[in-house]
Amino acid sequence: MTGASSGIGRVTARDLAARGDTVVMVSRGGGRGAAVAEEVRAETGGDVHYLAADLGRLADQRALVEAFRQRFDRLDALVLNAGAYFAAREETSDGIEATWALNHLGAFTPALLLADLLVASAPARVVITSSDAALMARFRWDDLEYRERYQGWGAYAQSKLANQVVVRELGRRFAGTGVAAHAFHPGFVATGFGGGDGFMARLIGVAQRFFARTPERGADTMTWLATADEALATTGGYWADRTAKPHARGARGDEVGPQLWERSLEQARVTPAERAAFDRVATAAA
């Protein structure tokens, strides 16, 4: 599970470990991640592991997948929760806008490159943390990376819309494999999210103090999607409070999925061999 070092991710990691699941917690190295994994191990007595990856970097996305494969031979639930809001436009070392690189490609690439392991472990699931922020978003197809007129909130909302499209596409492409994919909205949660400079970040901080729900409540649907049998009965869904909801309007329609998929393959620099490997896994069962 990514984004496991704080907020709702830490809660779900703890709950999964307490259930007796083997949990692999992922966050950026050099920070709190390894210590938090140690805390979760101590709190639960569970089988808890830690892998470091800066998921905004393409090389780290791949290195994470490789490190995981070297240590584990099955994957029952891939929980892709890492995400952030960037008040000012930044680019990663790959030259990709930071919100898109982390919130979208940081979920898309691991899901794509771990598809064979998921299918081999079926029944299995992919869970991506989206947000109702996507409700007001539309894809800027001619400027997905906000090179012009950057708005932190717009870039964030678009990345969360992409999360919903990715689970719809995974649901379609994984049909018949026994792998379900779902996105969810955790609610407005009091976490470290949005912390930092800028008007929106300060506004989020103030609003969290008065209106936000606890990380435990925010994590509940994520843990449920990662573990409940009900979440395997359907796929491609969007959820909040364990209840299926319609996808954001901008995520609907038959063309948006394939269009985003193609663009993402290019941006994530997926090789023809990796692409063919994914297609083989997905179509083998269809």
Ligand X SMILES: NC(=O)c1ccc[n+]([C@@H]2O[C@H](COP(=O)([O-])OP(=O)(O)OC[C@H]3O[C@@H](n4cnc5c(N)ncnc54)[C@H](OP(=O)(O)O)[C@@H]3O)[C@@H](O)[C@H]2O)c1
Give CA separation, 156 vs 73, 131, 165, 286, in Å. Answer: 34, 9, 15, 34
Nearest residue (CB) to ligand X, 58 versus 231: 58
Any contact of residue 191 with ligand X (CB under 6 A)? yes
Handedness of CA 232, 238, 239, 244 (dihedral sign): negative
In the DSSP assignment, the letter for residue 128 is E
Show contacts with ligand X in window 214-273 (CB under 6 A).
Answer: none
The dihedral formed by the CA atoms of 55, 57, 58 and 64, expressed in degrees to the nearest 10 = -40
Nearest residue (CB) to ligand X, 7 versus 152: 7
Rounded to a whole number of angstroms, the minimum distance from the CB of residue 220 to ligand X is 13
**19, 20, 22, 31: residue in contact with ligand X (rule CB under 6 A):** 31
Based on the number of CB atoms within 10 Å of its own CB, is 10 exposed (0-12), middle (13-18) or buried (19 or more)?
buried
Nearest residue (CB) to ligand X, 193 versus 238: 193
Rounded to a whole number of angstroms, the minimum distance from the CB of residue 183 to ligand X is 10
CA-wise closest residue to 14 among 27, 1, 32, 31: 1
Find the catalytic residue in 85, 146, 156, 238: 156
Rounded to a whole number of angstroms, the minimum distance from the CB of residue 103 to ligand X is 6
Calculate Rg over the CA atoms of the chain.
Answer: 17
**64, 115, 124, 189: residue in contact with ligand X (rule CB under 6 A):** 189
Give CA separation, 258 vs 160, 169, 170, 245, 263, in Å. Answer: 17, 7, 11, 22, 9
In this chain, which stretch among 52-60, 136-144, 174-182, 273-281 interacts with ligand X, using CB under 6 A? 52-60
Gap between the Cα atoms of 207 and 16, Å rounded: 29
Name the E strands within the chain: 23-27, 48-52, 77-80, 124-129, 179-185, 237-240, 243-245
Task: Specify the residue for token string 């379900």.
Answer: 180
| Cross-strand partners of 78 | 126
| Cross-strand partners of 237 | 182
Gap between the Cα atoms of 93 and 1, Å rounded: 24
Nearest residue (CB) to ligand X, 20 versus 31: 31
3-class DSSP state of 126: strand
**86, 100, 174, 193: residue in contact with ligand X (rule CB under 6 A):** 193
In this chain, which stretch among 30-38, 62-70, 167-175, 277-285 interacts with ligand X, using CB under 6 A? 30-38
Nearest residue (CB) to ligand X, 55 versus 112: 55
Gap between the Cα atoms of 64 and 26, Å rounded: 9
Query: How many residues touch ligand X (CB under 6 A)?
Result: 30
* Residue 146 is among the residues annotated as catalytic for this protein: no
Nearest residue (CB) to ligand X, 19 versus 32: 32
Any contact of residue 110 with ligand X (CB under 6 A)? no
Any contact of residue 46 with ligand X (CB under 6 A)? no
In this chain, which stretch among 115-123, 142-150, 186-194, 249-257 interacts with ligand X, using CB under 6 A? 186-194
Show contacts with ligand X in window 70-89 (CB under 6 A).
Answer: 81-84
* Footprint of ligand X (CB under 6 A): 2-9, 27-28, 31-33, 53-56, 81-84, 102, 129, 131, 186, 188-189, 191-193
User: Which residues form the catalytic set?
Assistant: 156
